Chains A and B, each alone.
Chain A
Amino acid sequence: MAVLNTPIGRMNIYDDSNSGELITFADRNGFKRSAQPRDYGKHPFGSMPFNAVTIPKIDRATLPERIKDAHAKKTFSLYHHIARKVPILNQRSTNYCWANGPCGALMNARARHGLPTIKLSSASFAAPGKRYQNVGGWGGEAIGYMAQFGCAPDSLWPNHEINRKYYDSTREVSQHFNIGEWYELNPRDFNDICWALLNGWEVSIGLPWWSHLVFLNALYWERGALFANVVNSWGEDWESGGMVVMAEEKFVPGAQGEAIAISTIKMDGWQHDLKRIAHWSEGLAV
């Protein structure tokens, strides 16, 4: 398998030639891949809140230099992930990969905003959102639930526990942990995803070929090709501390997938406009 030298060491590259191994590994080890395709008929592109950002077109010829510069200056979110020792989530046997991705991105975003490293629980918002059913979902749905329920520390609501008993005692604390603003990205090509990553943000991606949702926090340019740093939710023992490198043909979701940039985190008492969220998420099971 091809490898790439990265800030966290030599990492395996997954591309068209070996991506099937990611599926067989999960099936063999009991990791669920339950990202559901977004229903673009019900939730058209651009219908999520905070979609007003204007994304410039990136000249692909400039990418190698921009990526090299971002690594030299350590502005990719990956560097905050490493420096602040952000935990890698483990979804275990839950079908909540679609919530683990945004939850992991939230922890990474907190690190780059100067907030303490705290392991958070995807189940604390996905479970009440799904009425405590262990079922699949999509990334925008996860962010909608997070906006409504907040996100509890893993110490108070274990990440893999789909159990109502944790709900009441975590209502207040959960309001302190949340994504602030996020932006929908065009999932069809590299442009929007690269722009967001070069901004130092995290990008949650739902990949139809993998039936899985993960998040990205850095880009690489090697041998004339574009790669991304993928943070998975199968624990820290998987691959390189829970991460792999993925080639462009695999990490760009395509028209049926989804990509959401996590820009800011909820700062102190800032509250989401729940009416706005509810309007957007009409039809969700909340």
Chain B
Amino acid sequence: MKDQFDLDDLFEQSKSEATPAPVVPAKPVVATGDDRFAGSADHVAWTPPQGKKGMGCLLPFALVTVSLAVGFALGMLFASCRGADGDTVDPDVDPVDGAYVAIFYNDTDLDRYTPSQREFLNSVNTANYLEERGVNWKKIDTQPLDISKLETPFQVMAEKHRSKEPWIVFASGRKFASEPIDSNDQAMKLLQKWIK
């Protein structure tokens, strides 16, 4: 797929004026959406706090509401990437063509990364795994990075909080995951889990 150069590809980039979200410490999240929409599933990893008695019925309600709202918003974003124009969403059709992987790193920090992290970032084995499965992937240097000018799927991925780098984000129409890259083995296992 990527061996073919199509000029049109260059001019389909979004003109979004989204501004980057502030980077704050965040825990890794692994999220799955519902059957029809991609979802953040911040709610899946989120553990309800032990709140005050009497709030028990409100918390689940708030949780469900927030989860639906986040899931719907992300689902619409990804659905818009392929220009879906139907009134209904076919649950058997992935709303995004293929999968996306973004690998975030800072090129001036390479010496601070472990050899195993550098292996994942630099090895052609990583690239080959993604290419052979038709994944739309990018290795993105974060200094500097203008999120607003990335292609739409990568914008969403770049806006996810990253508590450190290197960091990997995976997205498809149904799944979204965001985790640090601790080692080559750990990151390859993530890829194998996300991308069959």
**Smallest CB-CB separation from B128: which chain A residue?**
A83
Contact across chains for B149 and A270 when beta carbons are under 8 A apart: yes
Given contacts A75-B118, A181-B141, contact A116 B10 (CB under 8 A): no
Determine whether A73 belongs to the interface, using a CB cutoff of 8 Å to chain B.
yes
Contact of A269 among B5, B108, B127, B150 (CB under 8 A): B150
Binds A, one of B34-42, B55-63, B73-81, B132-140: B132-140
Q: In the complex, which residue of chain B has the Cβ closest to the Cβ of A81?
A: B124
Alpha-carbon distance A283/B4, docked complex (angstroms): 39
CB of A117 within 8 A of CB of B2, answer: yes
* Pick from B2, B5, B121: contact of A200, CB under 8 Å: B121
Is A56 close to B, CB under 8 A? yes
In the complex, which residues of chain A have a beta carbon less than 8 angstroms from the beta carbon of B130? 114
Q: How far is the CB of B133 from chain A (nearest CB, A)?
A: 13
Instruction: Give chain A residues whose Cβ lies under 8 Å from the Cβ of B94.
Output: none
Q: Within residues 75 to 111 of chain B, which ones have a CB less than 8 A from any CB in chain A?
A: 103, 107-108, 110-111
B110 to chain A, nearest CB (A): 5
Q: Are A113 and B3 in contact (CB under 8 A)?
A: no
Q: Mark A180-208, 1 if CB is under 8 A from B, else 0.
A: 11000000000000000001100000000
Q: Which of B124-174 contact A (CB under 8 A)?
A: 124-125, 127-128, 130-131, 137-141, 144-146, 148-151, 154
Decide if B7 is an interface residue (CB 8 Å cutoff): yes
CB-CB nearest in chain A for B140:
A267
B182 within 8 A of A: no
Chain A interface residue number, banded: 35 or more
Does A267 contact B145, Cβ atoms closer than 8 Å? yes
Contacts of B138 in A (CB 8 A): 113-115, 267
Q: Are B13 and A74 in contact (CB under 8 A)?
A: no
Please state if A116 and B3 are interface contacts (CB–CB under 8 Å). yes
B122 touches A200 (CB 8 A): yes
Task: Assess whether B150 is in contact with A268, with CB atoms less than 8 Å apart.
Answer: yes
| Interface size range on B against A | 35 or more
Once A75-B118, A116-B5, A264-B107 are accepted as A-B contacts, the answer to whether A180 and B124 lie under 8 Å apart by CB is: no
Q: Contact flags (1/0) for A62-105 with B, using CB distance below 8 Å?
A: 00000001000111000110111100000000000000000000
Q: Which residues of A contact B124 (CB under 8 A)?
A: 74-75, 79-80, 82-83, 112
Contacts of B107 in A (CB 8 A): 181, 263-264
In-complex Cβ contact of B139 among A73, A113, A199, A269 (8 A): A113
State the main secondary structure of chain B at its contact with A: helix
Assembly CA distance A69 to B184 (angstroms): 14
Residue of B13, B108, B131 contacting most chain A CB atoms (<10 Å): B108
Compute how far the CA of A118 lies from the CA of B5 in the bound complex, rounded to whole angstroms: 7
* Contact A269 to B13, CB < 8 A, known contacts A116-B5, A181-B141, A199-B110: yes
A173 within 8 A of B: yes
Once the chains are docked, how many angstroms separate the CA of A250 from the CA of B148?
A: 45
**A79 CA to B124 CA, complexed, in Å:** 6
Partner of A268, one of B7, B13, B125, B127: B13
For residue A242, CB closer than 8 A to chain B, the reply is: no
CB of A53 within 8 A of CB of B108, answer yes
Query: Inside 8 A of A54's CB, which chain B residues have their CB?
Result: 111
Smallest Cβ-Cβ distance to A7: which chain B residue: B124
Task: Tell whether A29 is near chain B: CB-to-CB under 8 Å.
Answer: no
**Residue in chain A with minimal CB distance to B5:** A118
Partner of B145, one of A85, A176, A270: A270
Distance, CA A80 to CA B122, complexed state (A): 9
Asked if A128 CB lies within 8 Å of chain B CBs, one says no
Taken together as a complex, chains A and B put the C-alpha atoms of A115 and B2 apart, in Å, by 8
B146 → A minimal CB distance (Å) = 5
A-B contact pairs, 8 of them (CB 8 A): A73-B119, A74-B124, A75-B119, A79-B123, A116-B2, A173-B7, A267-B141, A268-B13
- Chain A positions within 8 Å of B, measured between CB atoms, are 52-54, 56, 69, 73-75, 79-80, 82-85, 111-118, 153, 155, 173, 176, 180-181, 199-200, 263-264, 267-271
Q: A73-B119, A176-B10, A270-B149 are in contact. List 11 more A-B contacts (CB 8 A).
A: A75-B119, A75-B124, A80-B127, A113-B138, A114-B138, A114-B139, A115-B2, A116-B2, A200-B122, A268-B151, A270-B145
Interface residues in chain B, defined as those with a beta carbon under 8 Å from any beta carbon in chain A? 2-5, 7, 10, 13, 103, 107-108, 110-111, 115, 118-119, 121-125, 127-128, 130-131, 137-141, 144-146, 148-151, 154, 184
Top 8 closest A-B pairs, CB basis?
A269-B149, A200-B122, A79-B124, A75-B122, A264-B141, A116-B2, A114-B137, A114-B138
